[in-house]
Amino acid sequence: MQIAYRARDITEAHIVAGFLGAHGVEAYVGGHYLQGAMGEIGAAGFTNVHVEDEDLFHARELVREYESGEPKAMVSTGRGESRADFFAQWFLFALAVLALVILNSN
């Protein structure tokens, strides 16, 4: 396994590992036990995101995308919106219909 990303803290390491996993790259977060070595203060530089050797190049490309703050590889519904936006719109629609049904039943 190779280090694809050196995180500031354990939370960021898991965010990056989740981002990689969402794009098909299996990632492992190391350094959990070293994180608490300095007590309640968050220790920096001990957590790393590891990937398999053959996934290193792709993982580092995704990490650059993550660091730029402009994800290009969002899963999309084909209409220019992300999958999260799509499901959020349907959830709000279902919630509005449910509210109308409850209000009309009174």
Q: Which residues pair with 48 in a beta bridge?
A: 6, 30
pTM for the whole structure: 0.58
CB 49 within 8 A of CB 4: yes
pLDDT < 50 stretches in the chain: 75-78
Structure confidence at residue 41 (pLDDT): 52
pLDDT of residue 77: 42
Quick one: pLDDT at residue 85? 77
Contact by Cβ (8 Å): 7, 48: yes
